[in-house]
Structures are given as structure tokens and as C-alpha cells.
Structure 1
Amino acid sequence: MSIERLVVIGGDAAGMSAASQARRLKGPGELEIVAFERGHFTSFSACGIPYWVGGDVTERDDLIARTPEEHRERGIDVRLRTEVTEIDLAGRRVRARALDRGTESWTSYDKLVIATGARPIRPDMPGVDARGVHGVQNLDDGQALLDTLARARGKRAVVVGAGYIGVEMAEALIKRGYEVTVVNRGSEPMSTLDPDMGRLVHRALEGLGITLVNDTEVTAVRATQDGHVRAVVTEDAEYPADVVVLGIGVRPETGLAKAAGLPLGAHGGLLTDLAMRVRGPLADGTVWAGGDCVEVLDLVSGQERHIALGTHANKHGQVIGTNVGGGYATFPGVVGTAVSKVCDLEIARTGLREKDARRVGLQFEAVTIESTSRAGYYPGASPMTVKMLAERRTGRLLGVQIVGREGAAKRVDIAAVALTAGMTVEQMTALDLGYAPPFSPVWDPVLVAARKASAKVRDR
């Protein structure tokens, strides 16, 4: 019996989950696995980098789930510092360059997994390549930022962007003793929330001593004569900086796939079927893709979205590895659940924002309630704000946003399950949730919002 070869491009969550799952199902005598990774690490937690930079996680290696050596022990040929530069679909082979030696070679495949991830958005503006300007996407990026912080001439930092990465990095830099300014082109931080909920995050950032500049676009970065960043420039002002962190977001890393002629969606991500197999005749049923380089189905709006999260990437990898290994699995889609924090303020969202619902033509009712994390009389009860969107007429849950202290963020999981199940807000009011005074009021804040939304739908 001939041995098939699986080639994996990308050694983080999706790629190595796929490789590991395929190996569980097929041994080395049935399937050879070669994984190319252009960095120094495999299977690491990019989501943990802000906490490493901030000192909550003390060791870089704590963020590594499985080392290259551990993968090799399991029969996966991991080739570090090797970048795939071309995919030849017709010939079923990839060209790779050994970055430290500069040599190139072709490797054939029977099955191919594209898990190239996403890259930080780096705006095209003067000075953005100055030393001390950092994007943060992998462990090499995190180490480079820590090295800059260790030798910085001063303690002034500017974060460009106020999304998840921007907010988390701002907090990390505050913990490092930096004076932090966040420049945000939106009206409020956390554009994944509606502006009224983002305003709560705004107050929390200011409470940490962070200067937040909204409705402002960065136009240039200025450097010293020796090429190190010294300031960030906007149309109206200049903000001194000894270090700059770009937290503008990420784009799918799909240059290889595009050059090979594979189909991309509206957001630049690869398009796959439910089995995570790349669509189209060129892929010929032998190419899979997963992680931050793909677009996924939004189960609420019915449209394709690009969501860069490790939770999805690991699930994609499991699905791909199962199918490559001869089993059967599918990835049905997402509802857009995400959580974060600013100091002790927890931030969560799932489903659609108001502008998302409008964009896809949904009419809705929106309600916002104030409640507490525990019974009001129980020590430690803290305020919590819940916003809920329900479809007009049907009452179908469309989205939930939660901002509060301890116990706020993970409550969004209630809504995530309800969204996945297609529940109405009236059905949610009857959910049998756990209750005791140390954990929740008699009516959980999510259910209070559901009651209010249900009443508003009925009144309408």
C-alpha cells in the first residue's frame, strides 16, 4: 500500500491541530505528514501575548501548547524557519524556502492544508517601519516588543487602534509602567460593540490612566536620526512615543492562495465547504484550509465573515484532520462570540451589533438593562450592563453585549448557546439557569434582558 503525504502550511493552531488529528487516525505507515512553519515556534497561544507582555504570564514557553520536538516525536515532520512561497495545484506540490540558508525546494503532496493565519494590518504611511513600531501576531513579535521595552529610552507608548488587541496591549503597557495613549479612529473603543457599550470601556480605560483619543486617524510616524520612533502624528496633534503598538486588526494571510487561483471571499479569506475543504475545481478536493486565513458562515446573519480566534482555528484543525484521516466532520459556522477585559472590567459580545443587523436587512428591537453579578445583598455584588437585540415580529435573539465586573464575560455563553439554537427571547426567559446568591440574582442579568426584549417585541 502506498503512503500518502499530507503537507501543512502553517504551524500554529489550525495547522498543527489538523496534523495531530490526522496522525491520531493514520499512522506513519499510512500517512506521511510534513508541516512548514516560517517562525521559530509551533502550537502557541497568540491570544496570550498581551498577558505575557504585561507580566501576568512570566515565561514565553508557558504559551506553547506543543513544541516542534513533541510534534516530531508523534511522527510529524516539522520544518521550522521554512516559508512556503508557491503552491502548484496542477502539480500537487509546494515550493519552500529555508529562511536561514536561503535554499529552495519542492515538496509534493497528496493532500494539502493551508493554515497561513492572518497578518497585522500595517498602515501605508510615512515612518511606519521605524524601529520601535510593533505589530503583535506571534511569539517572535511578542519577544521583539519586550526587547524594545527593555531598552526604550523613555516610558511613553502609543497604541494605534482600540479593538481587542489595542485595548489589551494598552493595559499591558500600563502594567509595565508606561504612559499610554490610544489613538482610535472610531467614536468609541471596541468597535465590536455598539458605541453605547463601547463608552463603558472608554471610562474604564480612562480610569486606568490611559489617554484615549477617539475619531482620530494616524497619518505618520516620526523617527529620530538613528531611525527609532519618537512620535505618532495625526491631523491635529503629535503624540511623543518611545514605543508604538499597532492594534488596528488583522487581515487573512492569503497571498499564496490567491496566487494559486483559489477562491477568496469579500473579506479576503479562503472559502471552504462545511468539511473545511477549499471550494472550486482548482482545489480538486485535495486542499483544505482553516484558522485565521478562512471565512466562516455567520449562523445569525447567514453571511460569510472573517473572525480571527484561536477557538475557531483549533476546531477547524480538528475537522480537517478528521476528514484527512478518513473520518467525517463538519464545521457548521459561528455566532461571533468573543470576550476580553480591561483590568477588572469584563467585555463580551455574541451575535450581531445594531449596524450588523441593519446591514443584512433585519429589523430589530434593542434593550439595555442594569443588574448585578450576584444577589444585591451578597458581598462583592458588582454592576453589569447587558444589551440585547431581538428580531422584530419573530422575537428571535440576534445579539448580546455585556460589560461588567467579575462574572460578566462568561455569561455571554448563555446567549451564544441560545443564538446557535435559534431561540427567541421569550424562550430564553424560561431557561433553567443555576442560582445561588454568591453567583447571581434570582433573575440572572441575561434573563432580565430577555424579559425586557420579549416585552418590547410583544408591545411592538
Structure 2
Amino acid sequence: MAAQRLVIIGGDAAGMSAASQARRLKGPDELEITAFERGHFTSYSACGIPYWVGGQVDGPEALVARTAEEHRARAIDLRMRTEVTEIDTAGKRVRVRDLDPPGSAGEQSVGGTNGGTDDDTDGGTDGGRWERYDRLVIATGARPLRPRIPGIDAPGVYGVQSLDDGRTLADSLGEDPAGLDAVVVGAGYIGVEMAEALVNRGCRVTVLERGEQPMSTLDPDMGALVHEAMCGLGIETVTGAEVTEVRTGHDGRVTAVRTRDAEYPADLVVLGLGVRPETTLAREAGLPLGASGGLITDLSMRVRGYDDIWAGGDCVEVLDLVSGRPRHIPLGTHANKHGQVIGSNAAGGYATFPGVVGTAVSKVCDLEIARTGLLEAQADEVGLRYVTVTIESTSRAGYYPGARPMTVKMLAERRTGRLLGVQIVGREGAGKRVDIAAVALTAGMTVEQMTALDLGYAPPFSPVWDPVLVAARKAARAVARDMSGA
């Protein structure tokens, strides 16, 4: 019996995790695996790009978990610099084209077989060719948002999504970028991390955020703490700033960024406005998309309505276990888990991805920022009624050297006391405490139940009452008062 052919579009976290897991379960005699990646790198940590640009880690090689050659050594036919341009679900084939001409410096050796190529090849690097599949995995990731304003595509304006993007930005900074004016547009996770990277390289950094506060992934009152800290770190952070134009000089390069109220000098501009699912191929193929533009899948990560197509990573929507609604949450942690599930199912096994609670952690210089579960606006959107509490505590026993302040905000459902969300802003030792809340959310715990959690304690690590538990105690009292009408 001929081997089945698994084709994967996208060679990063979800795609290559799926390929690796499928290969663990089925040998090449049973399952032929071919993956197409349009970039120069595979299986890399996009989350590490700000730390490479900022000089804390070497790159790009240090950010690659497994090279193309290592994948090929495991009988995975990985074809770099090869773009999929069309999916034909009826014919069970994909159209691909080579991005580098034969013999060019950018061409990668592909290894493996080419047994899946159809005979109706158009020929040439521009015309492309059809490749058949028995099973298909879509792992096309996400694309950075670019506002439609004058000058947004000028030289000196950078999106940061892939290692290729990171390399372009790092090369533009050169050996000594000290004194350059850098403007970061958007103050989400990527925006604040890139602001830190550029500060570390000696740039003068301005962050422009159109919202009320930086970090729209936090409630505004917690975002205000981030705003204050960023300004204290020497990062000029302007809120309520809607960018209207990127100005350029005679050579076409960026010179400034304009908002409705002011103009900021810029030698370079970094876009930190977030991302959207890259589902152009899926949309053109008629595959089902959700409100966010992400692919809709079932618990096995199979695309709804298609028994032979799976999708994972930043191009899909996932179930929010707290709200019960689908969301687009582009994180490498999810992508790798999606890939494991997809690889198991595509190879004939069984696995599911139940959903997420929306946990994320970041930092800007020594400020740690974390959240899990719902924000107030998200709880309002789904009709949940809740109480909120905010507490101030320290990362260690107050008398122990190095104790640093932190603020914890907690949302709990009215009447039931079910934990709905936690946000933490603080210094060293603050961010990873959000994992306590993430586990509690996943388990569906109430804030009263959380107060009895048996957490580790010693003065170098925590006060006697961990800050998360202090917040849980205060939230439990707030729920009780709400129930009594006090």
C-alpha cells in the first residue's frame, strides 16, 4: 500500500511540531511528510526577536530550535523559500512556487522525495506547480497590522513577526545605533518589548499608543501603572496618539511620524500594533473563518467541514474556557500544542486541544506584566457580572533583601465567586505568579477555594500570604458582601 502524503503549509511552531509528532507515530513508508516554508528559517522562537534586537541574546541561529537539515534527517521533506499560492480542496492539491531561482544563494537543499508533484506542472519559478496531498495542515501564522496611512511602506518602517523581519531590523541598526530616534507605533506586547530592545541599544524611544493606556491586554487602571513605569525608564509614552502619517525625506526614508496633535522625529519606526491571522489562502479556498479572521477548527484541530485538513498556530481561533467564546490569541505556546495535537491526528492517532484561559506575560526593562482570564471589558461583552479587587504586596517577605512591589487585580463572578481573571504588574518575581491564577482558572476554582491553595513559602520567595492569595481573600470577601447586599 502506498504511503499517505501529509503536506504542511508553514515551517514554524505549529507546522513543524505537527510534522515532528506525525513522524514519531508513522515512519516514511507509511506517511510521507512534505512541508513548505516561504522564509529562510524554520522552527524558531519569534518571541525571542526583541531580545536579539536588544542584544541580550545572539541571533538568529540561537533562536532556531531545529534547523531544516535536522528536520530532513528525520525524513521530513522540508522545502525552504517555497511559497504556497493556492489550495485546491476539491483536487486535494496545493500550488507552490520557488522564491529563489535555481542556483541562487538563497536556495536551500530540499532532500526527501518529490513524489507528490503532479504531472501538470507549469514549469519555471514564476508559474509554479501543483503538489498533491492526502492530508493537509495549514500553519500560515499571522501578519503584522499596518495602518493605511501615507508613508507606512517607506524604508525604515519595520514590522516584526518573523526571523527574516528581525534580521532586517537588526541589520538596519548596525553596530552602534546609540542616539537614533526610534518611534514604536502601538504599545501592546510587541510594542513594549521592542521599546525595551531599542532602549537597550541606546536609541531615544517614543511609543505612540492610540488607546487610553499602553497594554490594551490589561484594564486601563493596570495599564496606567505600565505607562508610569515606561516613562520612568526613559521611554516617552504618548497615549491617545493616532498616527496619521509617516513622513519621509528626499531619499524616501522615514524622517518623522505625525499624529493628529504632534510630530515626532524618527530614524526608524517599528510597528507594534498587533497581528491578524494570515488566512488569505484559506479564505480563497472557501474554508470557514471566524469573526477574527482565524480558521475555525474542532477540538482535534481539524478545519470544520473538512476531514482531511487541519490548522493550528496563529492562523486559527481557539476556545476561551472562561468566556466560552472563540478568540484569536497568537502565542507560541499554543502553536506548539496545536502542532502536537494535529500531528497525532494526522498520523492516525487521537488528541484534542480543549482551549485556553488567555495567559500571557511580558516585560519592559525590569517591569513585569502578566494577565490571565478576562478583562473587565471582556466580561462585560459576554454578559458576566463580577466584582473586582486590587491589592499591593511584595515579591518576597517585606523584611527580606530584594523585596519588590507588585500590584494584583482580580475579577470574580458575582454570586458564584468563580475566578474570572487576574492581572499583575510589578518588578522581579511578579510576572510568573500569574501561573497560579491560570491553573485556578483552568480548574474552574472559586476565589474562596483559592485561599486554601497550598503554595510554597519561604521569605526569599514570598510573603507568608502570596500576593495572589491576598487578592483571592479580598475577592472572596467582596463576593460575600455582594451576596449580603452590604
Q: Residues 154 and 242 of structure 1 are in contact (CA less than 8 Å); yes or no, is this contact kept in structure 2?
A: no
Distance 2:377 2:299 in 1: 27
Q: Which amino acid aligns with 1:162?
A: A
The residue that corresponds to 1:277 in the other structure is 302
The residue that corresponds to 2:319 in the other structure is 297
The residue that corresponds to 2:475 in the other structure is 453
The residue that corresponds to 1:412 in the other structure is 434
Q: Which amino acid aligns with 2:399?
A: Y
Match of 1:380 among 381, 402, 418: 402
The residue that corresponds to 2:331 in the other structure is 309
Q: Residues 382 and 404 of structure 1 are in contact (CA less than 8 Å); yes or no, is this contact kept in structure 2?
A: yes
The residue that corresponds to 2:104 in the other structure is none
Match of 1:339 among 361, 368, 385: 361
Q: Secondary structure at the match of 1:369?
A: strand
The residue that corresponds to 1:150 in the other structure is 174
The Cα shift of 1:70 comes to: 0.4
Distance 2:248 2:33 in 1: 46
The residue that corresponds to 1:78 in the other structure is 78
The Cα shift of 1:317 comes to: 0.0
Residue by residue over 1:380-417, the C-alpha shift from the partner in whole angstroms, topping out at 9 and shown as x without a partner, is 11111000000000000000001111111111000000
Q: Residues 142 and 315 of structure 2 are in contact (CA less than 8 Å); yes or no, is this contact kept in structure 1?
A: yes
Q: Which amino acid aligns with 1:371?
A: S
The residue that corresponds to 1:371 in the other structure is 393
The residue that corresponds to 1:252 in the other structure is 277
The residue that corresponds to 1:47 in the other structure is 47
Q: Residues 189 and 215 of structure 2 are in contact (CA less than 8 Å); yes or no, is this contact kept in structure 1?
A: yes
Distance 2:58 2:97 in 1: 33
The Cα shift of 1:345 comes to: 1.0
Q: Secondary structure at the match of 2:478?
A: helix
Q: Residues 52 and 60 of structure 2 are in contact (CA less than 8 Å); yes or no, is this contact kept in structure 1?
A: yes
Q: Secondary structure at the match of 1:256?
A: helix
Matched, 1:127 2:159: no
The residue that corresponds to 1:112 in the other structure is 136
Q: Which amino acid aligns with 2:328?
A: H
Change (3 A) 1:427 1:153: closer
Residue by residue over 1:230-260, the C-alpha shift from the partner in whole angstroms, topping out at 9 and shown as x without a partner, is 0101111111100000000000000000000
TM-score, length-normalised on structure 2? 0.93
The Cα shift of 1:225 comes to: 1.2
The Cα shift of 1:326 comes to: 1.4
Distance 1:229 1:391 in 2: 49
Q: Secondary structure at the match of 1:273?
A: coil
TM-score, length-normalised on structure 1? 0.98
Match of 2:371 among 338, 346, 349: 349
Moved over 2 A (4+): 151-154
Change (3 A) 1:206 1:154: closer
Q: Secondary structure at the match of 2:174?
A: helix
Match of 1:215 among 240, 243, 266: 240
Percentage identity across paired residues of the two chains: 76
Q: Which amino acid aligns with 1:85?
A: T
Q: Number of matched residues?
A: 457
The residue that corresponds to 1:23 in the other structure is 23
The Cα shift of 1:58 comes to: 2.0
The Cα shift of 1:154 comes to: 6.0
Q: Which amino acid aligns with 2:263?
A: E
The residue that corresponds to 2:204 in the other structure is 179
The residue that corresponds to 1:33 in the other structure is 33
Match of 1:140 among 147, 161, 164: 164
Q: Residues 179 and 202 of structure 2 are in contact (CA less than 8 Å); yes or no, is this contact kept in structure 1?
A: no
Distance 2:430 2:376 in 1: 21
Q: Residues 202 and 212 of structure 1 are in contact (CA less than 8 Å); yes or no, is this contact kept in structure 2?
A: yes
Q: Which amino acid aligns with 2:382?
A: V
Distance 2:183 2:417 in 1: 43
Q: Which amino acid aligns with 2:426?
A: G
The Cα shift of 1:226 comes to: 1.1
